[in-house]
Amino acid sequence: MRRDVFQAIADPTRRAILSLIALHAMTPNALAEHFDTSRQAVSKHIRILSECQLVKQEQTGREIYYHFNPSKMKEIADWLEPFRKIWESRFENLDKVLKQIKTK
């Protein structure tokens, strides 16, 4: 089943996993050490992230390392961009109003 990338990042544990893997590749066991949950639960989160192509796996000997896939995050960034522009515009307008109030 192909999952939506927004489903994957909706969960705080998966966002935390992405943050950890963004720093350097990690094994499921290494990731599980950062959470108060079972390795199986962490593996389920990793599977969802893999299905969404947010992480890639690499086999090195007997270990599987998971790497962050920054190119897939572009889909999220592209979706957020119009909202960022709206909020920047609103903050600029607020700055103008605050400056007017301050000069009065």
Domain with residue 66: its CATH number is 1.10.10.10
pLDDT band at 2 (very low <50, low <70, confident <90, very high): low
Angle between helices 39-51 and 12-23 (to 10 degrees): 80
Which one-letter DSSP state was computed for residue 62?
T
Which 3 state secondary structure label does DSSP give 19?
A: helix
For residue 50, which of 38, 67, 35 has the smallest C-alpha distance?
A: 67
Q: What angle do CA 71, 82, 79 make, to 5 degrees?
A: 35
Specify the pLDDT at position 69: 92
pTM equals 0.78
Total of domains in the chain = 1
Alpha carbon distance 13, 25 (integer Å): 17
Full domain range(s) for residue 74? 5-103
Q: Tell me: the pLDDT tens digits for 59-84?
A: 999 999 999 998 888 888 999 999 99
For residue 17, which of 36, 42, 38 has the smallest C-alpha distance?
A: 42
